[in-house]
Structure 1
Amino acid sequence: MAGIVVVFDFDKTIIECDSDNWVLDQLGFTDLFNQLLSTMPWNSLMDRMMKEVHDQGKTIEDITEVLKRTPIHPRIIPAIKSAHELGCDLKIVSDANIFFIETFLKHHGVRELFSEIHTNPSFVNEEGRLRIFPHHDFTKSPLPCNTNLCPPNMCKAMVIEKIQASLSTEKKLIYLGDGIGDFCPSLKLKETDFLMPRKDFPVWDLICQNKKHIVAEIHEWSDGGELEHILLHLINSIVSSMEENNNNNNNGNSSSHLVSAVDCKLQTISVTAH
């Protein structure tokens, strides 16, 4: 293994849209979703919407076909395959749900490339209806999230902390995301880690406003082509750095080689750090 863990968000990072919105839009349930949006948390509403979809005669096969058509930049799947071929451990941390994510990944032939998927659980019940449940049961206890930016069902920072606790100290983490919920885990990354926010998306704005609270190297990207180029460049640079360190250590030299950072001119404001 390359000693690198790559963590992807799913919506608007691997795919070009929000998977919940995409499915409901394609099946014709957008108006009802918008009417109910202010009445309950998003995750709970998605479970309710899957009941409406089922009651209106839409099947799991209908949902699956919609998911297969989910828009994606043509360089994303090659980037995932290349990162895996280079020895990276690939994971997903997403506020979508396991049925949507796995259906999409299986369709594109890359499900087996991901060692873990942390997301909201879901399953098809005996009636053929998709049930969606929260990653964290917020009805029993609130999430201990210090930023107050995360949805009640999932704080990705908690997931990242669990991933970090399972890794050896020399492992480096690359985190890719786009949304508000991706800011909280960004605060958990170490100086030896790398953050790849999608430029001009909500997480980018938060990072620009709170740069002093981010210690990981920041490498922004705008589309799938840039994601592929930057991600593979980072991986190759990290691997080269590790090989050089190993050679130096073998020669009795303890000097280290640092990966050069992309210049990121960001403004800062004061916030309460995680």
Structure 2
Amino acid sequence: MISNGRILRRLAVFDFDHTICELNTDVVVRDLLDQSLITPEIKSIVRSCGWIPYMQRIFRLLHQSGICKLDILSAIRSIPEVAGMKTCIAEMAKNNFHIIIVSDSNSEFIKVWSDFNEIGQYIHTTFTNPAKFNGNGALEVHPFHHQTECSLSSRNLCKGKIVDDFLDNQSVVANTEYEQIFYIGDGRNDVCPMLRLKDNGFACPREGYACYDALSNAIKQRSTSYEAKILKWTNGFHLMSLIWKEL
């Protein structure tokens, strides 16, 4: 649709783990290890340095333990979808949605799972921690960025900033505006982008996960009213029915 020379579309922003795929990709791969190898020292890396340095150590252990690239990719492909989510994404793509993924997983896991499940064709852009298998077959992962401005987000990934930058870029470079924005997630790190939504926005936290309560508490602490509408969902089919009522 064109309005005043601008392209008008809808935007769906998805988290990945527990939102598109049913499990946490990092945890699934970590659990390929003999858990006795994950010493207290290694576990302490999460607190001292963050999740990405911790997972980099885990990937090194996997390689040292003889768990190869094919084992890792097979584990990722085996993760089931959140029921109905592939259908939901496909239907969105047919109905003037741009679909982007903003995730604290990594580029290798998301691409492998999305292509295997035939949704990669519908994804406009993915924002996540870059990863690749090196020449020795070990997986390497790096932070998406380094940020200290947002206390709601991890140091390596502020989802709110990513979405804001995407919207600015689409406006300037692609001459595109979004008449409706749906943000779909499950975790505490999805609260930041949800809080930035305006009156054309829809915060979609998954029922039974941390995001809904964290978002509710954050809204109560705001000095101004929350303009976006909250749509709490259970699976992809339910999410699709909620969103279609708002179109």
Q: Look up the SS of the partner of 1:210 in the other structure.
A: helix
Distance 1:44 1:143, change over 3 A: same
TM normalised by structure 2 equals: 0.86
- Structure 1 residue 8: Cα displacement: 0.2
- Structure 1 residue 34: Cα displacement: 6.7
In structure 2, distance between residues paired with 1:169 and 1:86:
15
Q: Which of these two proteins has the greater Rg computed from alpha carbons? A: 1
The answer to whether the 8 A contact 1:143-1:155 is kept is no
Identity fraction in percent: 28
- Structure 1 residue 33: Cα displacement: 4.2
The answer to whether the 8 A contact 2:10-2:181 is kept is yes
Structure 2: where are the runs of 5+ without partners? 2-7
Instruction: Write the mapping of 1:95-114 to structure 2, written as runs, cut at 5 A.
Output: 95-114=104-123
User: CA offsets, 1:189-218, max 9 Å, x none?
Assistant: 111111111123111011222335432111
Which residue pairs with 2:93 in the alignment?
84
TM normalised by structure 1 equals: 0.78
Structure that is richer in strand per residue: 2
Which residue pairs with 1:156 in the alignment?
159
User: CA offsets, 1:22-81, max 9 Å, x none?
Assistant: 1111x1344544732222311111111111111111111111110111122331111111
Instruction: Write the mapping of 1:190-205 to structure 2, written as runs, cut at 5 A.
Output: 190-205=198-213
- Structure 1 residue 229: Cα displacement: 2.0
The answer to whether the 8 A contact 2:11-2:178 is kept is no
Distance 1:169 1:113, change over 3 A: closer
Q: Which amino acid aligns with 1:98?
A: S
Instruction: Write the mapping of 1:114-193 to structure 2, written as runs, cut at 5 A.
Output: 114-136=123-145, 138=146, 142-145=147-150, 148-165=151-168, 166-167=170-171, 168-193=176-201
Distance 1:53 1:209, change over 3 A: same
* Moved segments of 4+, more than 6 Å: none
Q: In the alignment, which of 202, 211, 228 is matched to residue 216 of structure 1?
A: 228
Q: Which amino acid aligns with 1:151?
A: S
Q: In the alignment, which of 55, 58, 68 is matched to residue 64 of structure 2?
A: 55
The answer to whether the 8 A contact 1:160-1:188 is kept is no
Q: Look up the SS of the partner of 1:16 in the other structure.
A: coil
- Structure 1 residue 97: Cα displacement: 0.2
| Residues matched between the structures, number | 228
Q: Look up the SS of the partner of 1:204 in the other structure.
A: helix
Structure 1: where are the runs of 5+ without partners? 238-274
The answer to whether the 8 A contact 2:18-2:82 is kept is no
Q: In the alignment, which of 8, 15, 19 is matched to residue 13 of structure 1?
A: 19
CA RMSD of aligned residues (A): 1.8
Which residue pairs with 2:102 in the alignment?
93
Which residue pairs with 2:4 in the alignment?
none
Distance 1:232 1:59, change over 3 A: farther
Q: Which amino acid aligns with 1:144?
A: E
- Which has the higher mean CA deviation after the structures are superposed, 223-232 or 111-120? 223-232
Instruction: Write the mapping of 1:252-267 to structure 2, written as runs, cut at 5 A.
Output: none
User: CA offsets, 1:113-139, max 9 Å, x none?
Assistant: 101000000011111111000011x3x
Distance 1:90 1:207, change over 3 A: same
Q: Look up the SS of the partner of 1:160 in the other structure.
A: helix
In structure 2, distance between residues paired with 1:226 and 1:30:
36
